[in-house]
Amino acid sequence: MSTARLTIDLDALTSNWRMLDSASSETVETGAVVKANGYGLGVERVGKALAAAGARRFFVAVPEEGLALRRALGPAPEINVFAGHMPGDTDLIAQAGLTPMLNSIDQLLRHVEALPGHAFGVQLDSGMNRLGMEPGEWDALRDIALAQNPTLIMSHLACADEPGHPMNAHQLAMFREMTQGLGVPCSLSATGGILLGPEYHCDVTRPGIGLYGGFPFEEATPVVHLDLPIIQTRDVIPGETVGYGNTWVAQRPSVIATVAAGYADGIHRAMAPNTYLYAGNVACPVVGRISMDLITVDITDLAEEVPETLSLLNEVQTVDVLADNAGTIGYEILTALGNRYKRSYVE
């Protein structure tokens, strides 16, 4: 079979959730962020596994994602939508029982007019300047919003993956000032914020990337493994070239394997020069350019027989290693994982 195999370890996922849960005290609720189809891993399976592990509150980016999750999880969990309540979202929010995190006066008015009595939360901007009500706006709206009983007030840290960054303490102070004494559950921290320590935990945490095995949760267990089938091998002699643009030239008699996957499957071209495919413990360098559907690999040093597949993602070469190789972040590697992979879930 020439389809690459993506294996998603749901046990590792839930063990990461439990570890992040135990990083905060028992009075803090640990939610789970499953936006972008569970960071590319499949929201249905990921959501069910996390719910079975004990997650009761989930976060998605947009209502359509919330509907998919609601279908998978049934009526019980609270599903919070970061984008809030946009024009055209009302039916979906009502039908799927979603809790929009309202980001502006427009959204607040839209929500209470269209769906009076329907649950909502509020997102505040504490300095990131991306989503949420500004301090001045919140001052003006606070009493109106509180009278409608929001279920959660949240904000988001801009620099939480840099523990020493002064922005963290600044945003914490801003958030405290905006939420003190309101008697509504508060949430400030994603994965990075959880690791900053208890003062950042508030009432509810919102880990995403750490669940899926990514930085900055260094102790995470890797969740994804990716194995690429070898379609063909060939011998090349010194001076022969491999791939588009003739960028790689054989310096010695070499064996080249061609595997089935490429940049159309989320394997960014930029990672080629530093990336290996693994046959067991043996690291075989990618040579030449990564094509849309194919990658060429130097397997000359494989002493044993040529295996059926080579591994791109494993315990050694993690999503963060690939991200470094491509000059990006683990989030982008995960969410770019292609639709063509044959996905299997292990529990």
Which residues are known to be catalytic?
Answer: 35, 244
Residue 206 amino acid letter:
R
Residue, CB closest to ligand PLP: 208
Asked whether position 103 contacts ligand PLP by CB under 6 A, the answer is: no
Pick 34 or 250: Cβ nearer ligand PLP: 34
Q: Which of 119, 133, 209, 279 binds ligand PLP (CB under 6 A)?
A: 209
206 binds ligand PLP per the rule CB under 6 A: yes
- Interaction between residue 108 and ligand PLP (CB under 6 A): no
Q: Which is nearer to ligand PLP, 190 or 326 (CB)?
A: 190
Round to whole Å and give the CA distance between 119 and 130: 23
Closest by CA position to 280, among listed 235, 324, 310: 310
Residue type (1 letter), 262: G
| Residues in the chain, total | 347
When binding is defined by CB under 6 A, the residue of 110, 111, 156, 289 that contacts ligand PLP is: 156
Could you tell me if 217 and 16 are in contact, meaning their C-beta atoms sit under 8 angstroms apart? yes
If the CB atoms of residues 190 and 302 are measured against ligand PLP, the closer one turns out to be: 190
Contact segment (CB under 6 A) with ligand PLP among 138-146, 200-208, 294-302, 305-313 equals 200-208
Per-residue binder mask for ligand PLP (CB under 6 A), 210-249, x = binder? x---------------------------------------
∠ at Cα 3 (279, 264), nearest 5°? 95
> Of 10, 38, 40, 82, which one interacts with ligand PLP (CB under 6 A)?
82
**If binding is defined by CB under 6 A, does position 330 make contact with ligand PLP?**
no
17 binds ligand PLP (CB under 6 A): no
Annotated binding residues for substrate, written as ranges, equal 130, 292
Number of residues that bind ligand PLP (CB under 6 A): 12
Distance CA 303, CA 283 (A): 12
Instruction: Please name the residues in contact with 281: beta carbons below 8 A apart, sequence gap of 6 or more.
Output: none
Q: Which residues pair with 260 in a beta bridge?
A: 294
The continuous run of DSSP H or E covering 333 comes out as helix 330-335
Q: How far apart are CA 201 and CA 28, in angstroms?
A: 7
Q: Which stretch binds ligand PLP (CB under 6 A): 107-115, 166-174, 204-212, 255-263?
A: 204-212
Please name the residues in contact with 304: beta carbons below 8 A apart, sequence gap of 6 or more: 279
Q: Which of 211, 207, 167, 166 is nearest to 187 (CA)?
A: 207
Footprint on this chain of ligand PLP (rule: CB under 6 A): 33, 35, 82, 156, 190-192, 206-210
